[in-house]
């Protein structure tokens, strides 16, 4: 594709977890035309392990559902399709950039062509993506899995606890709510034990 950093859904979730304290954060995931819907679903599913309230923005090809979702969900991560937006839609979002600014992260899944149109028609909005523009690659998950295993080992060594200790404590609702333990559960595939966002 374009030499962009390649990510899978799990890595998107890890990156967003680190980014979640920044305000006005926008991330673009570039996907092949035919896979956009699938990629949205995968990312939403993965994000929900860490941010259970994550929402997928309904897609009717217009910007209205996105503006409504942003207005109604100031903190929640949102995942929106940008592949059907043309110059007009992006220009509208550029003028209404202030209405898109919020605490929660907004992820756009777009094609290379639609992102190029965004850069051309919405320079103000495009500048808020910064360098957070990635190419979707399902095979990138293997790297993420290796990083996850490394991180799990570091958590075990750092705390002197086993995975089972953490699961037991979570089930008994005695696990402190620190992000470190949340991350541990997610890496174990037990995001279901997280109490809330």
Q: Which residue of 123, 149, 171, 192 would you call a contact of another protein, by CB under 8 A? A: 123
Strand order in the sheet with 78-81: 5-7, 133-136, 26-30, 106-110, 78-81, 55-56
Site string for another protein, 33-72 (x = CB under 8 A): ----------------------------------------
What minimum distance in Å lies between the beta carbon of 55 and another protein?
A: 21
State the Cα–Cα distance between residues 132 and 72, nearest whole angstrom: 24
β-bridge partners, 7: 136
Binding track, positions 176-195, relative to another protein; x by CB under 8 A? x-xxxx-x------------
Token pair, residue 45, equals 């599913």
Going 129 to 131 to 136 to 142, the CA torsion angle's sign is negative
- Please give the DSSP secondary-structure letter assigned to residue 189: T
15 contacts another protein (rule: CB under 8 A)? yes
Residues of the shown chain interacting with another protein in the complex, contacts defined by CB under 8 A: 2-5, 11, 14-15, 17-25, 30, 91-92, 94-99, 101, 112-113, 115-117, 119-120, 123-124, 126-134, 147, 150-151, 154, 159-162, 164-166, 168-169, 174-176, 178-181, 183
């Amino acid at each position: 594709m374009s030499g962009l950093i390649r990510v899978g859904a799990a890595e998107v979730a890890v990156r967003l977890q680190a980014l979640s304290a920044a305000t006005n954060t926008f991330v673009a995931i570039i996907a092949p035309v035919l896979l956009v819907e699938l990629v949205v679903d995968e990312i939403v599913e993965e994000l929900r392990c860490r941010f259970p309230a994550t929402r997928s923005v309904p897609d009717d090809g217009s910007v209205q559902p996105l503006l409504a979702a942003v207005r109604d969900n100031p903190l929640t991560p949102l995942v929106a399709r940008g592949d059907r937006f043309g110059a007009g839609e992006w220009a509208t979002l550029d003028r209404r950039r202030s209405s898109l600014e919020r605490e929660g992260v907004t992820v756009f899944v777009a094609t290379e062509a639609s992102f190029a149109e965004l850069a051309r028609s919405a320079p103000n909005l495009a500048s808020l993506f910064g360098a957070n523009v990635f190419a979707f690659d399902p095979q990138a998950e293997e790297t993420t899995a290796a990083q996850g295993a490394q991180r799990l080992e570091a958590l075990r060594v750092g705390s002197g606890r086993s995975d089972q200790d953490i699961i037991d404590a979570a089930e008994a609702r005695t696990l402190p709510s620190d992000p470190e333990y949340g991350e541990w559960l997610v890496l174990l595939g037990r995001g279901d034990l997280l109490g809330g966002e």
